[in-house]
Amino acid sequence: MELVALAAEAYVYGYPLVRDLSVVEGAMYTGYGPLPPAPFNHFAHADRPVPPDTPFVSVGDDTVRSLAHLDLSGGPVLLHVPGPDGTYRVLQFVDAWTDSFAYVGRRSTGTRAGDWLVVPPGWAGRVPGGVLGAVDAPTSVVTVIGRSDCDDGDDGGGSDGAGRVRAFQEQLTVTHVEPGTHRTGLPAPDPDVPEPLRFFEQLRVWMADFPPSAPDRAYQDRFQPLGLLEEGASPYVRADAFLVRALAEGAARGGARVEEADRADAVRAGWVMEPHLFDYNLDHYGVGTIDSPEWRIADREASYLTRAVAARSALWGVHGYEAVYARALCDAGGGQLNGAHSYVLRFEGRPPAEAGWSLAAHSMAGYGVGGYGVAGYGRGGSRIGEGLAGRGPAYAEDGSLTVRVQRERPDDPVAAVNWLPAPEGDFRFVLRLRAPGAGILDGTYGLPAVERVR
């Protein structure tokens, strides 16, 4: 049925927009995990890493988040970014379609403190003197995700990791620079639309208020028969039964397509790493991004499915040149990782990551449905690694690093130094590499085999 196939395409195409703005709305009114709610143009700050069972975090994280949803409908805002403190910091800018279009941080813009002017689409004003630069937003609502390394080692100055994060957060501010009126909420879908059609109603309303790039607008013209380009009153309040069935079946097919693509590598043995999962941004290259063919998906229509998979499994994830996440569910023999066993991982040398790395063990409870448990964070918890400041693991004289993973602390004092506690039951490893080197991105650096200790 042609209309059903078209509705499935529309679901895949529009899923990232609906997913993003639904999470934005939730963050504004209820918050997420340790992130409290915050209105537009205000930062919400976590006091600890966002746990992996938070709805928009797929793999967990070892950084403390700061989150601001900017509304630029009333004009630009000024974002003040504090200076360096010797640790990893990055601010990522994501538009309503989930395109990461700018980065401000050590890798991208250096370590200068100062102000950045975030401007709405089509803005033709002048950037004030003394401002570090302008960040051109593709949509009038954007999300800024701040990530701060929470290394708990002492930095030599008597300040612990939590103290450094708090000091950074206190100085991270948003200020209006023009007298325009900023909205307080997102455009509301018609409440009389029946629940089975709510996704398409959200997509219709939000596509109109947050139009994509010109090439994407040309593509979405094909969805005219579905009513998605209708302005004014919703066509879905009294839609005929034929359209209702087509949209409902199309949404089911589109959702299954995204889920199938998302799960495609979930059962592979060894390490799975996707440094190009976020290369679907084909049109907007702002401050700190890399405008290069190697960081773009060549096929625009293929990019829509990749974008939907990323929105489903790793919303607001960063480009591979900013950070890469590798995961392993099985040992070298193909057996599911489980806390009843002991494992050894031998790194032949320091992982090539200029801004630090970490290895964590996450419970498999809820894997595949948005929930990921973790035993804890920090040295002696469920994470081992090294950042730009603080202590790191102990390397051998030949430069190698051996990590022992098991439930109980090893009796051998040497093995205990690099011990990573294993969760109960099935678990998986997540290896995070910030500002990864060429060996990670081109696959020439060999990730360690996960050897089960017999």
The domain boundary, picked from 231, 246, 263, lies at 263
Question: Nearest-CA neighbor of 428 among 355, 326, 314, 351?
Answer: 326
- Structure tokens belonging to residue 140: 């009038």
158 has a pLDDT exceeding 50 = no
> Above 80 in pLDDT, residue 62?
no
pLDDT in tens, 322-380: 999 998 989 999 999 999 999 999 999 889 999 889 998 888 764 443 333 333 333 33
Q: Residue 152's pLDDT band (boundaries 50, 70, 90)? A: very low
Cβ contact 277:302 at 8 Å: no
Q: Do 362 and 216 share a structural domain?
A: no
Domain closes at, from 247, 263, 279: 263
The answer as to whether 317 is a domain residue is: no
Torsion of CA 66, 69, 70, 73, to 10 degrees: -170
Task: State the pLDDT at residue 8.
Answer: 98
Domain count, the chain: 3
Question: What's the confidence (pLDDT) of residue 109?
Answer: 86
Single out the residue in 221, 240, 263 at which a domain terminates.
Answer: 263
> What pLDDT shows up at residue 228?
97
**CATH number for the domain harbouring residue 150:** 2.60.40
Could you give the percent of the chain with pLDDT greater than 70?
Answer: 88
Question: Do strands 89-95 and 100-105 pair parallel, antiparallel, or not at all (unpaired)?
Answer: antiparallel
Write the pLDDT tens digit of every residue in 102-127.
999 988 888 788 999 999 999 999 99
Say if residue 160 is in the same domain as residue 229: no
Instruction: Evaluate whether residue 282 is within a structural domain.
Output: no
- Do 102 and 164 have their domain in common? yes
91: part of which helix (H) or strand (E)? strand 89-95
Q: What percent of the chain has pLDDT over 90?
A: 68
Categorize the per-residue pLDDT at 53 as very low, low, confident or very high, splitting at 50, 70 and 90. low
CA angle 334, 340, 345 (to 5 degrees): 55
Does 159 score more than 50 pLDDT?
no
Residues 69, 159, single domain; the answer is yes
Same domain as 200, residue 152: no
25 has pLDDT over 50:
yes
Q: Answer whether residue 292 is part of any domain.
A: no
Domain containing residue 330: CATH number:
2.60.120.600
Taking CA atoms, 94 is separated from 68, 296, 319, 329, in Å, by 11, 16, 11, 30
pLDDT for res 270: 80
Residue 61 — pLDDT band, cuts 50, 70, 90? low
Q: Are 196 and 95 found together in one domain?
A: no
How buried is 294 (Cβ within 10 angstroms: 0-12 exposed, 13-18 middle, 19+ buried)? exposed
Rg over alpha carbons for the chain, rounded to the nearest Å, is 23
Q: Could you tell me the pLDDT band of residue 50, with boundaries at 50, 70 and 90?
A: low
* Average per-residue pLDDT for the chain: 88
For residue 358, is it within any domain?
A: yes
User: Is pLDDT above 60 for 421?
Assistant: yes
28/166 same-domain check:
yes
Domain assignment present for residue 119? The answer is yes
161 shares its domain with 214: no
CB–CB of 121/300 below 8 Å?
no
Tell me if 354 is assigned to some domain: yes
Least confident piece of the model among 251-265, 301-315, 325-339, 363-377: 363-377
Residue 27, H or E segment = helix 2-29
Both 98 and 139 in one domain: the answer is yes
pLDDT confidence band for 151 (50 / 70 / 90): low
Whether 235 and 144 map to the same domain: the answer is no
Whether residues 108 and 238 share a domain: the answer is no
User: Is there a domain that residue 293 lies in?
Assistant: no
Higher pLDDT, 164 or 376: 164
Q: What is the pTM of this model?
A: 0.90
Amino acid letter for position 65: R
What is the domain range of residue 247? 2-11+191-263
Residues 144 and 253 grouped into a single domain: no
Is 420 domain-assigned? yes
